[in-house]
Amino acid sequence: MIAVVQFGGSNCDRDAVRALSDLGFEAERVWHEDPLPEETTGIVLPGGFSYGDYLRGGAMAARSPIMKSVREAAAEGVPVLGVCNGAQIGCESGLTPGAFTTNASARFQCEHVYLRVENADTRWTAAYEEGEVIELPIAHGEGRFELDAERYEELEADDRILFRYCDEDGNVTDEANPNGSLGNVAGVLGDSESVAVLMPHPERASLPQLGNTDGRGVLAGFEG
C-alpha cells in the first residue's frame, strides 16, 4: 500500500491517490499524526502548503514526527517520492540534497513546463528515454533549486539529477527555466535511488481524461 502523507495544508494528496489508483496501485491517505501503516510499500509526500509555508516551504512538516518514520522507511529501501511541497519537505528533512527556495521571479509560477529526462536509469524515470522531453505542470512560489557548487558537482557526477527544465526541443536554457533553478534542476535523487523529489506535478498529468499522461512514468516508479 502506498501511503500518501497528508499534512495540514496538503492539497495534492487526493490527486496523488487518484492517479496512483488509476495506475493500479493501492494508495491511501495517511494523516501525519497517525503512524505509517505496517503494510506501507511506498510513500508520497504530496504537494500543497503544509503548515501554511510558515518559516520556509516544507520546514515545519520536515520536522513533524511522521517524518522520522518516513526516514526510517526510506533507509530500509521503501520508495519515497516528494512532489512540490513534498519536494521542499524532502530537502528540508535531509532526505534529498539542496533546497527549493523563492522563485527568481519572486512570483508564484503556475504553468506547463518541459522537462528533459537526464537519467533514465532509475525506477522513477525507467519509463522514459534519456534525453526525452516530457511536459508537466508546475505550481509553486518556492521552487528555485539551490546547492553549493561543490555538492552540485558531486550531484552531477553521481548522475542524481532526474529532470532539468528545458524548451520544447530539449534545450536547457535560461528562458526555459521557470524559477531560476541552479542548472535548471527540477528533480533529484536522494542518497539512494529509492528516494526522489521534483517540483513539477506528475500526479496532475496522469489521468487520460486530463489530456496529458506524461507524469505516469514517474508514479510507475513505485513498481520498482
Partner 1 sequence: MTTYTATVTVRLKRGVLDPEAETTKRALERLGFELDALRFTERYEVDLDAADADEAETRADEMAERLLANPTIHDYEVAVAEA
- Give me the active site residues, please: 84, 201, 203
Q: Smallest distance, Å, CB 51 to partner 1?
A: 12
**How far apart are CB 70 and partner 1 at their closest, in Å?**
17
Cell numbers placing 162: 532526474
Beta carbon of residue 75, minimum distance to partner 1 (angstroms, whole number): 19
Check residue 23 and report its DSSP letter.
T
Query: Contacts with partner 1 in 45-74 (CB under 8 A)?
Result: 55-56, 59, 63
> Are 189 and 122 a contacting pair, CB within 8 Å?
yes
Size of the site for partner 1 (CB under 8 A): 20
- DSSP H helical segments within the chain, as ranges? 13-22, 59-62, 66-75, 85-92, 149-157, 216-219
Q: CB of 30 within 8 A of CB of 1?
A: no
- Candidate residues 102, 109, 212, 213; the one interacting with partner 1 per rule CB under 8 A: 102
CA distance 213 to 19: 10
Residue 98 lies near partner 1 (rule: CB under 8 A): yes
Would you say 57 or 221 has its CB closer to partner 1? Answer: 57
Q: Which among 164, 175, 96, 89 has a CA at the least distance from the CA of 130?
A: 164
- Those residues with Cβ within 8 angstroms of residue 186's Cβ, 6 or more apart along the chain or in another chain: 113, 115, 145, 162, 163, 164, 165, 198, 199, 200
Among 106, 129, 174, 209, binds partner 1 (CB under 8 A): 106
105 binds partner 1 (CB under 8 A): yes
Nearest-approach distance from CB 78 to partner 1, in angstroms: 24
Write each residue from 134 to 173 as x if it is in contact with partner 1 (CB under 8 A), else as -, in one continuous string.
----------x-xxx-------------------------
Binding site for partner 1 (CB under 8 A): 55-56, 59, 63, 91-92, 97-99, 101-106, 144, 146-148, 180
